[in-house]
Amino acid sequence: MNSLYLTIKETAEYLSYPEAYVENLIQQKKIRAIHDGNQYLIYKEQFNTHLKQVEKYKSLVEEILNEPLPEDRDIKDED
């Protein structure tokens, strides 16, 4: 299903958040959603900026984690 709208379950999977958290965000009007009589439908495009920022953050963290640690010259082997 590749539409502009996602169900709460799909949104939760898409953002890697629990469904209850997504429902909470809708109730707090933090994310835009419409109710079609049965369920909430969430406009997918509103997350593009958020996901780009998350990706940028993840790659930054990856870079930091992949940097070799500088060797500490003061450490002596305690054997």
| Count of domains forming the chain | 1
Computed over every residue of the chain, the mean pLDDT equals 85
**What's this model's pTM, rounded to 2 decimal places?**
0.58
The enclosing domain of 41 has a CATH number of 3.90.105
As a whole number, mean pLDDT of residues 11-29 equals 92
Is 76 among the domain residues?
Answer: no
pLDDT tens digits, 35-59: 999 999 998 888 887 778 878 888 8
**pLDDT bracket for residue 79 (50, 70, 90):** low
Q: If you count DSSP H runs as helices and E runs as strands, how many of each does the chain have, helices first?
A: 3, 3
pLDDT tens digits, 64-76: 888 887 777 666 6
- Please list, in sequence order, all residues whose beta carbon lies within 8 angstroms of the beta carbon of residue 40, skipping any fewer than 6 positions away: 7, 8, 23, 26, 33, 34
Is 77 among the domain residues?
Answer: no
